[in-house]
Structure 1
Amino acid sequence: MGLFAVGKGISTAMGFLLNLLLTRSTTTAAYGAYAYAWTLITIIEVFADLGSSKSVLRYMPDFKEDSENRSYILGLGYVTGVSTSLVIALGIYISAPVISSLTLNSSLFEDVLRVFALVLPFNSVGNVARESLRGSGHIDEHIIARQVIPPVLRVLTVGIGLVVGYSIIGLVATLVVAAAIAMVVAVAIATSHDLLQPSFTISRTGVNKFYRTAVPLAFRDIGTFLYSRVDVLMLGILLGANAVGIYNVPVLLAGVLSLPLTGINQLFPAVAGELFANDDRQTLQILHHVIVRWSFSTTVLIGAVIGIFRTDILALFGVKYVAGGTVLMLFILAYLIDSIAAGSAYVLMMSDHQWILFVNQWTFGIVNVTLNYVLIPRFGIQGAAIATVISYILMNMARIIELWYYEGIFPYSITLAKPILANIGALIAIRSTAAFLEGLTAIATGGIVGIIVFGVLLYGLGIEQQDREIFAQIRGAF
């Protein structure tokens, strides 16, 4: 858990620094073209390897003692990742003019997208290697290979490109170089383990089993992107590159609020899975109460700092990005809604309701597309944010109701009142700081004051015994 927190912190900081470098060194339109192409490639990457990395993750634990089948699965994952991603990358390269005409209608975007397409084969192979480490229990190496090395390389290569004087096209090319190096490192780390050596033999039964898992998982994740990132795609189609550039920065900043929930999700599934297997619903209910309390409390605290000092933070990227202040506030609301449903999706998955999750993702993905289509022409970038927030609210309400209906588990209790009161006090303290200080000093001081006030008030109100016991169990399990 400690290394995960460090890795996630490095990944987030490097992402922030990368976008800061790009926004400060390019025009809004150029940054918008980059952000739009990056979003497209990120979405395409979900199925560029035909789900091979996810299938590798799924079967690694099953073949823990079976080196032959493990090697076969790895070999099939690598071959699939290379072949399908190369075909898709070539298709993107050829069809870039058509994609551009249907979206940003920009020759700059067309060139950026063509260069970005080269990332797909490197990322696909690298993802198979990284997921093989995760699936085989080499968690520390997985974190280093996924959350530390790639983002650090991206910042380093772009930094070198800026020193040399590259334009946005050259800077994107440096990201391709970073992806290639990250892939080599990931494969080298994975193959350094005797049990992670790929085999390239062919078995019809193995192929059928592999793809029966891989393909549905890939299509499930496409639904996830529909309700989480389709706003950027539709902004490009309806408003152009400048709108995408201004919109992408607050989306990036609001993503920091996902850190508490992401950290909890590293621990919760394993503990909850064991409780569910033992049919210990009572402890699972208590555990769910605990993670919702702390997910919501920490997200509110981080959101308060970002929201109150939003103008100062956005100005770091350039004065023109301050226009994204309302979008940032709306996305803070979206992540707060997400935090109050913490763990619901995992419990549904563990209780064999994965098809409900699949239907949820696609249903609210379509809702998000529809809302974006209606609201963007009327409200601009704020319309895209409103559409996404509504989709988040509906998605999480559905998960909470489904979990209560199918499993009788409800994530809230009266114990949520204490951290809410502590957060109200912290919010007042942070807001008071903003009245006397400005800039980076205000941000840093406000954050520190908020944490101290929250901690003191929560301690004074009394930390729940359940929290102490559950976190002690989690630490013991890891």
Structure 2
Amino acid sequence: MSADAAETAALAKGGRTSFIGYVLRLAARFPFLFIAGRMYGAEALGRFAYATMVVELVAMLATLGLKRGLAEDMARRSDAESHALFDGLLVSLLAGLAGAALLVLLPQLVFPATRLHPLDRWFALIVPFIVMSDVALAGLAFRLDVGATVRARSIIEPWVLSIAALALAFTAVKSDGMLIAYLLSMVAAAIASLVPAIASFGLPRGWRPDPRHLWHLARTNVPLAGADIAEWGARRLDIFILGRFAGAEIVGIYYVAQQIQSLPQRLKSSFDPILAPVLTRNLAAGNIAKVAVHVRQISFWVAAVQLGVVLALGITGQALMGLFGPIFASGAAILAVLLTVELFAAQAAVAEGALIYVARGKNLIWSVAGLVIQAGLSLLLVPRLGGLGAALALALAALILSVAKSRLLARQLGHKVSGWRLSLVGAGVPAALVGLLVLRAPEPVQLSIGIIAILGSYGLIIWRFGFHGADRLLFSRSMRKIEAEATTMPVLPGTADGRGH
């Protein structure tokens, strides 16, 4: 098996494993949303959504870009990978403790305009656990161990959250039940991340913290951290502004729509753990054309699978939102717009996976610009349209960033990087027509047979007419088939399958 074929197979396997893990995570997340909506209510869910947004933002800051930057540091220190891991853990832990201390001193940042409960001040102490989990999983991903991320993030974390939230709903601490469940789930995920990381890398013999290297590590990854924060902030800015201009109930409805939207969103991030090491190794070897091929291939995979999911969930949106309570059904239009956001944002997100290594400064500038555009549009639209205004602002900003970042990466690499093909339209239109027929059926039928019919019609067409050669690696189980098809993959500029489709 050639090196090129092995990399493509690794990308397909890693993305497939990570996405299957996310499907497992969603399977546990939906029960939590059902429990939260039916047993706690939209207002309590809105309070939970805002609080977790703030602590996750601080955790993102504290990782200092190491979720992606750690792979580059390990590639440079191949003889001391365990030292690199523990350097990353230490510097991010120190930053996490500082961030947690700030929120403990100022709990109003986490719970604005609401009465503070006894637990609220100490809720921010979860930040160091989130940070260490993220860095440990980034280290494991460098060794192509995506399974650890699946176990920690897709099985342990969401199921602990759902089970704990259900149990606490019948206790005297119900008012803080969701927050306590979140704390338990994040601690469990941290343990499930650190244990396999230490088992894989071992304890770092002869390692001593070097303040100069730790400072250099943090400073070097500032552009990465900025890009991470801008991308993450774009996904949370809408919640932040809604929390300021709308009531907790509206935030709760928007949060449910956002959680459903996260399924197609995760299609892209499923490739992140495996994409970083593959790109860094090729860039270090000067294989620019191969980098462009990998970006193009993943862009098409993401777009192809996303479109089917977006159509199925968007068309049946009212019935789907209504599952969590009658009041949530009013968020169907918000869900439709948020799902459309993913079609715009995916190409920019995949392009950024390479831009953070070849044009960090320019990528950061565009990320910040996108955040500013979204903020301006949100402040204009949210007071007038509420949750729908927040979703529309996010969609317009995502479209602008998608075009800008794809073009920037194409100029940097000198090769085409877009994964969009006409076959996507050819499969999407018939699936949308099937969806119009599905809407005539009762809601239970829409959510069962209807979703299957939309996905099935789309999948059959895109598989038959849109997937060729290396494209089919994403759904291949047999390694022999992977080897046979992957050897046909070109490393020269052009379409991902070499046939001009």
Q: State the TM bucket, normalised to the shorter chain.
A: 0.7 to 0.9
Distance 1:347 1:57 in 2: 13
CA distance in 2, matches of 1:296, 1:381: 26
Q: CA deviation at 1:151?
A: 2.0
Tell me the residue number matched to 2:415: 409
Equivalent in the alignment of 2:405? 399
Residue matched to 2:90: 79
Once residues 231 and 431 of structure 1 are traced to their aligned partners in structure 2, the CA distance between those partners, rounded to angstroms, is 30
> In the aligned structure 2, how far is the partner of 1:280 from the partner of 1:97?
48
Which of 354, 366, 370 is the aligned partner of 1:364? 370
Q: What amino acid sits opposite 1:87 in the alignment?
A: A
Q: Tell me by how many angstroms 1:180 deviates.
A: 2.2
2:346·2:402 contact (CA, 8 Å) conserved in 1? no
* Residues 98-121 of structure 1: per-residue CA shift (max 9 Å, x gap): 664xxx41115x666434312112
Structure 1: gaps of 5 or more residues: none
- Between 371-380 and 446-455, the greater mean CA deviation after superposition: 446-455
> Distance in 2 between the 1:462 and 1:123 partners?
40
Residue 105 (1) aligns with residue 113 (2): yes
* Alpha-carbon displacement from aligned partner over 1:405-464 (angstroms, at most 9, x marks no partner): 444434558x8223321221122123212313422x322212222233224434664744
* Alignment: residue pair count: 466
The aligned residue for residue 423 of structure 1 is: 428
Identify the residue that residue 193 of structure 2 maps to in structure 1: 186
Q: 1:260 to 1:190 in 2, by over 3 A?
A: closer
Deviation at 1:20, TM superposition (A): 2.1
Q: 1:257 Cα shift?
A: 1.4
Q: Distance in 1 between matches of 2:433 and 2:388?
A: 27
Q: Distance in 2 between matches of 1:43 and 1:474?
A: 44
1:262 corresponding residue in structure 2: 269
What is the rounded CA distance, in whole Å, between the counterparts of 1:95 and 1:26 in structure 2? 26
User: Does the 8 Å CA contact 1:51/1:215 hold for their aligned counterparts?
Assistant: yes
Quick one: which of 302, 305, 314 aligns to 1:295? 302
* Distance in structure 2 (CA, Å) of the matches to 1:384 and 1:359: 22
Residue of structure 1 in register with 2:452 after alignment? 448
The CA distance in 2 between the partners of 1:395 and 1:222, in whole Å, is: 15
Amino acid at match of 2:361: W
Q: Helix, strand or coil for the counterpart of 2:76? A: coil
Cα distance in 2 between the residues matched to 1:9 and 1:162? 25
1:384 and 2:390 aligned? yes
How far apart in 2 are the matches of 1:129 and 1:458? 37
Q: Select which of 47, 58, 69 maps to 1:44.
A: 58
Per the alignment, do residues 340 and 62 of structure 1 end up closer, same or farther by CA in structure 2, a change over 3 Å counting?
A: closer
Question: Relative to structure 1, is the Cα distance of residues 25 and 290 closer, same or farther in structure 2, using a 3 angstrom cutoff?
Answer: same
Which 10-residue stretch deviates more, 191-200 or 27-36?
191-200
Contact 1:36 1:232 in 2 (8 A): yes
Distance 1:331 1:395 in 2: 16
Name which of 170, 174, 178 aligns with 1:167. Answer: 174
Q: Equivalences for 1:277-316 in 2 at 5 Å?
A: 277=285, 279=287, 281=289, 290-316=297-323
Deviation at 1:305, TM superposition (A): 1.2
Code of the aligned partner of 1:431: L
How far apart are the structure 2 equivalents of 1:269 and 1:182? 22
Map of 2:126 onto structure 1 = 119
Q: Tell me whether 1:202 sits opposite 2:221 in the alignment.
A: no
Deviations 1:318-375 (A, max 9, x none): 111112111111111111112355632234345x122221111111111111221121
Q: Deviations over 1:4-60 (max 9, x none)?
A: 233121122222322221111113221111111111111111123555665544423
Q: Please give the alpha-carbon distance, in whole angstroms, between the structure 2 residues aligned to 1:98 and 1:340.
A: 33
Distance 1:216 1:309, change over 3 A: same
Q: Secondary structure at the match of 1:343?
A: helix
Q: Say what the alpha-carbon RMSD is for the aligned residues.
A: 3.2
Going from structure 1 to structure 2, the CA distance change for 1:62 and 1:412 (only over 3 Å counts) comes to closer
Classify 1:474/1:262 alpha carbon distance in 2 versus 1 (closer, same or farther; 3 Å): farther
Q: Given the superposition, is the C-alpha separation of residues 54 and 474 from structure 1 closer, same or farther in structure 2, using an over 3 Å criterion? A: farther
Give yes or no for contact 2:25–2:154 (8 Å, CA) kept in 1.
yes
Q: RCO higher in 1 or 2 (8 Å CA, sep ≥ 6)? A: 2
The answer to which of 140-149 and 119-128 deviates more is 140-149
Distance (Å, rounded) in 2 between the aligned partners of 1:57 and 1:467: 26
- Unpaired stretches in structure 2, ≥5 consecutive residues: 1-12, 477-481, 488-501
Percent identity between matched residues is 19
